[in-house]
Structure formats: C-alpha cells, structure tokens
C-alpha cells in the first residue's frame, strides 16, 4: 500500500473516489480500498445492465419491425422473425436455446 491520507490506497487514488482512508482493521484493508472496490463493482454492474438493456431493446425492435411490416404476408412475418432468431443463435453460438416451462 502506498501513501494513505488523501493519496493512493493499494494503487488506486482514494481522493478521487471521495473515500476515507481510515483503517478498518480487517486483513489490513483500509476503508478507502473497500469503498473503491464497492464503487468499482457498482460501476461495472451498472454498465453491464445498460448493455443488456440495449441489446434486448435492439432485438425487440427488430422483431417488432418484422411483425408490423405491412409489405409482408403472415408467413413472411413469421419467416422474418425466424431470421432474427437464427441471427441471434449464430452471433451467440447457441444452436439450441434452453426451453422455458410455461405453466
């Protein structure tokens, strides 16, 4: 650990995160390190959630467009949705999607 008061804690600047650098007494970790680790986990989780939300929105938008295309017949719409599903499987490498039980 390098410099504690308003400086660096385990290689990460504690002042930038607004964390305290008082010792917690647990395994030599400071509160600054714990706060920074918690903030980092929160940031990563938030970014992952945004990414998942955007991806789902993209797929749903494509499906909605296929289902509402007035230039397609009912069979054409079904084939368009099948194409979107096939593209998803190809991009993710999932040849078989796991089933979901509907009660």
pLDDT in tens, 65-84: 999 999 999 999 999 999 99
For the entire predicted model, the pTM comes to 0.56
Q: What's the confidence (pLDDT) of residue 15?
A: 40
Residue 91 pLDDT more than 70? yes
Predicted pLDDT at 28: 59
Q: Give me the count of residues in the chain.
A: 103
Name the residue among 29, 35, 44, 28 with its Cα closest to residue 14: 35
Find, among 98, 102, 97, the residue nearest to 82 by Cα: 97
pLDDT tens for each residue of 10-55: 444 444 444 444 444 555 567 667 777 788 889 999 999 999 999 9
Residue spans per domain, the chain: 8-92
Q: For residues 21 and 65, give the distance between their C-alpha atoms in angstroms, rounded to a whole number.
A: 53
Give, in order, the Cα–Cα distances in Å from 91 to each of 18, 30, 65, 73, 96.
41, 43, 20, 27, 13
What 79-82 contacts at long range (C-beta under 8 Å, 24+ apart), as own/partner pairs, is none
């Amino acid at each position: 650990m390098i410099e504690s008061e308003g400086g660096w804690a385990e290689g990460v600047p504690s002042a930038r995160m607004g964390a305290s650098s008082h010792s917690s007494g647990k395994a030599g970790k400071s509160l600054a390190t714990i706060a920074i680790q918690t903030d980092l986990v929160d940031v990563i989780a938030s970014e992952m959630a945004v990414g998942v939300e955007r991806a789902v929105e993209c797929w749903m938008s494509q499906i909605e467009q296929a289902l509402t295309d007035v230039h397609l017949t009912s069979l054409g719409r079904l084939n368009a949705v099948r194409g979107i599903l096939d593209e998803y499987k190809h991009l993710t490498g999932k040849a078989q999607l796991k089933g979901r039980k509907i009660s």
